[in-house]
Amino acid sequence: MTRKFLIVSQEDIKSGTVTDKYFVWTEKILKEKGVNPHVVAEVTAREWGIFTGLSDVLKLMEGRDVNIYAMPEGSIFYPNEPVLVIEGKYLEFARFETSLLGFLCHASGISKAAFKAKFAAADKAVLSFGTRRQHPALAAMIERSAYIGGVDGVSNYSAEKYVGIKSIGTMPHALIICFGDQITAWKAFDDVVSRDVPRIVLVDTYCDEKSEAVMAVENLERVDGVRIDTPSSRRGDIRAILEEIRWELSLRREGVKIVLSGGVSFEDIAGLRDVVDAFGVGTSIACARPVDFALDIVEKEGKAVAKRGKFGGKKTVLRNGVVDLIVPASCTGGFAGESYLVKVMDCGEITDEGEKSTELERARERALKTMRDVRDFLENHPSKEDFVQLEVPQHPALIRTPHNTDLIPLL
Ligand code: PCP
């Protein structure tokens, strides 16, 4: 057997083999009957999110005779809003729908969760600790998506090779158990690991978290922080435990940070950010529910079409800060705002805009700026009624604002 792990190959994804069987039938039927219309199809979701996965979609569609318009990665998107528009002969992309959506749904779901975590943390740090909760073949995608969504660091070492970002880490319980006592293990870490790595000691292996935190600052020369990994495994009052630790540490040493990990939810982050300096988040980010993107034909041979429940016709998105208007592509004149969908693929070639739209640091900065702008918007317009709607006379238009998200409880 030459296969090592049960993972489909990159070549099979690229050639369109990794598809749903009904596309195989559709392709065969359309070819035999000589039907292959020129269509415009758009990707929309019923929910909001942070758009990522475009870099893989461009690699998937490169070399096929289609044009693609899309939001840049790291953008917020709202319900029913086109994030990507593909145009060309239907058979050029029919069987690629499965992989195209898979790339976008999964990555954008993780970026949305990372965005929510960082939004809830405000000025405190969020670290992605969750690749162990998913198939290892996905580790780079998870860490890239989390990073764009706004986390401050990622724990999977492979991100250095595949994403080009540094990974971060503290210490596992296994290290302490191997040495048999905490102090010896903490000192061994300090002896061996390079000086630029923060000394974040794990303080919940054998004793009460507070006792071990005190033990750390009383026995170690350098302690940059303590990590408590027990909010979900202990049913105690984690807030009271954290307040006690903060108190005892402050009595003994200035500037020791508190890192909290283990089953941390968005609500935990919002509720504990005043007593915690950094959150290590696994499941809540890495196992985020995928965004429910769908790809629908909205124009056939130049005429608007749509299935029930969808808006027909080619559209564009006009963005004013964090407020969007979704309008027919044919009548953007007279509306304020810039067209937010840019041409990322021209007849199968990735454009310069496409390259820029998927650049990692730009995408992350886009998401972080949006986070600040959404916070400002919601603080200034806490209820929908406070927001004076833009004037959109005559033309059909859908208006979308941060009220279309579920971020208010995390403010
Ligand atoms: C892991 C690590 C993180 C956890 C996972 C994050 O825990 O310490 O805090 O994942 P979660 O948000 O899904 O809980 P353990 O497997 O207990 O690791 P260890 O005992 O080796 O530190």
Q: Which atom of ligand 1 is nearest to the CA of 261?
A: 9
What's the mean per-residue pLDDT of the chain? Answer: 94
| Most informative mutation of 151, 204, 229 for ligand 1 (most atoms within 8 A of CB) | 229
> Model pTM?
0.96
Q: What is the pLDDT of residues 74-106, one digit of tens each?
A: 999 999 999 999 999 999 999 999 999 999 999
Which residue carries 């790595």 as its tokens?
Answer: 197
User: How far is ligand 1, taken at its centre, from the CA of residue 407, in Å?
Assistant: 26
pLDDT of residue 331: 74
What does the pLDDT read at residue 391? 62
- Check whether 233 has a pLDDT greater than 70: no
Of 246-250, 326-330, 348-352, the one with minimum mean pLDDT is: 326-330
In this prediction, residue 392 carries a pLDDT of: 61
Residue 104 CA, ligand 1 centroid: distance in Å? 27
Residue 177 Cβ contacting ligand 1 at under 6 Å: no
> What's the one-letter identity of residue 223?
V
pLDDT score for 334: 66
Binned at pLDDT 50, 70 and 90, residue 397 comes out as: confident
Q: What is the pLDDT of residue 162?
A: 98
- pLDDT tens track for 183-197: 999 999 999 999 999
- The atom of ligand 1 lying closest to the CA of 284 is 12
Query: Of ligand 1's atoms, which has the minimum distance to the CA of residue 174?
Result: 21
Residue 232 pLDDT level (bands cut at 50, 70, 90): low
Q: For 239, phi and psi rounded to 5 degrees?
A: -65, -45
What is the whole-number distance in angstroms between the Cα of residue 229 and the centre of ligand 1? Answer: 7
| Token pair for 141 | 């995608």
Measured between alpha carbons, how far apart are the two ends of the chain, in Å? 53
Q: Is 240 in the pocket of ligand 1 (CB under 6 A)?
A: no
Q: Which residue has the higher pLDDT, 122 or 397?
A: 122
pLDDT digits (tens, 9 = 90+) for 350-381: 999 999 999 999 999 999 999 999 999 999 99
Q: Are 299 and 266 in contact (CB under 8 A)?
A: no
82 lines ligand 1 (CB under 6 A): no
Q: pLDDT grade, residue 235 (50/70/90)?
A: low
pLDDT > 80? residue 1: no
**What is the pLDDT, as a whole number, of residue 330?**
82
> Residue 237, Cα to own-chain centre: how many angstroms?
30
* Ligand 1 atom closest to 264 (CA): 12
Dist. CA 186–CA 135, nearest whole Å: 31
User: Residue of the nearest CA to atom 7 in ligand 1?
Assistant: 262
pLDDT of residue 236: 73
Cα 265 → chain centroid: 15
pLDDT of residue 230: 75
What distances in angstroms separate CA 37 from CA 92, 94, 125, 130, 296, one per listed residue? 10, 11, 50, 44, 14
User: How far is the centre of ligand 1, averaged over its atoms, from the C-alpha of 232 (Å)?
Assistant: 10
What are the structural domains of the chain? Answer: 10-109+290-410 (3.20.140.10), 169-275 (3.20.20.70)
What residue type is assigned to position 301 of the chain? E
Q: At residue 332, does pLDDT exceed 80?
A: no
Atom of ligand 1 nearest to the CA of 280: 9
Q: How far apart are CA 46 and CA 126, in angstroms?
A: 27
If pLDDT is split at 50, 70 and 90, which confidence band does 291 have?
very high
pLDDT of residue 384: 84
Residues 55, 346: Cα–Cα separation, whole Å:
15
Structure tokens at 255: 């500037």
| Residue located nearest, by CA, to atom 4 of ligand 1 | 262
pLDDT reading at 393 higher than 60 = no
Euclidean distance between CA atoms 53 and 248, whole angstroms: 45
Q: Residue 394: pLDDT band by 50, 70, 90 thresholds?
A: low
**385 pLDDT tier (thresholds 50, 70, 90):** confident
CA pair distance 284, 271, nearest whole angstrom: 15
Which ligand 1 atom sits nearest the alpha carbon of residue 132?
5
HEC letters along the chain: CCCCCCCCCHHHHHHCCCCCHHHHHHHHHHHHHCCCCEEEEEEECCCCEEECCHHHHHHHHCCCCCEEEECCCCEEECCCCCCEEEEEEHHHHHHHHHHHHHHHHHHHHHHHHHHHHHHHHCCCEEEECCHHHCCHHHHHHHHHHHHHHCCCEECCCCHHHHCCCCECCCCCHHHHHHHCCHHHHHHHHHHHCCCCCCCEEECCCCCCHHHHHHHHHHHCCCCCEEEECCCCCCCCCHHHHHHHHHHHHHHHCCCCEEEEECCCCHHHHHHHCCCCCEEEECHHHHCCCCCCCEEEEEEECCEECCCCCCCCCCEEEEEECCEEEEEEHHHCCCCCCEECCEEEEECCEECHHHHHHCCHHHHHHHHHHHHHHHHHHHHHCCCHHHCCCCCCCCCCCEEECHHHCCCHHHC
Q: Is the CB of 262 under 6 A from ligand 1?
A: yes
Q: Is 256:201 a contact under the CB 8 Å cutoff? A: no
| b/e per residue 70-89 (b: at least 16 CB within 10 A) | bbbbbbbbbebbbbbbbbbe
pLDDT tens readout for residues 111-145: 999 999 999 999 999 999 999 999 999 999 999 99
Out of 127, 170, 261, give the residue to mutate to test ligand 1, the one with the largest number of ligand atoms within 8 Å of its CB: 261
Summarised one tens digit per residue, pLDDT across range 31-63 is 999 999 999 999 999 999 999 999 999 999 999
**Is 67 near ligand 1, meaning CB less than 6 Å away?**
no
Phi, psi of 45 (to 5 degrees): -130, 165
Ligand 1 and 169: CB distance under 6 A = no
Compute the distance between CA of residue 149 and CA of residue 3 in angstroms, rounded to an integer. Answer: 34
Q: Is 133 in the pocket of ligand 1 (CB under 6 A)?
A: yes
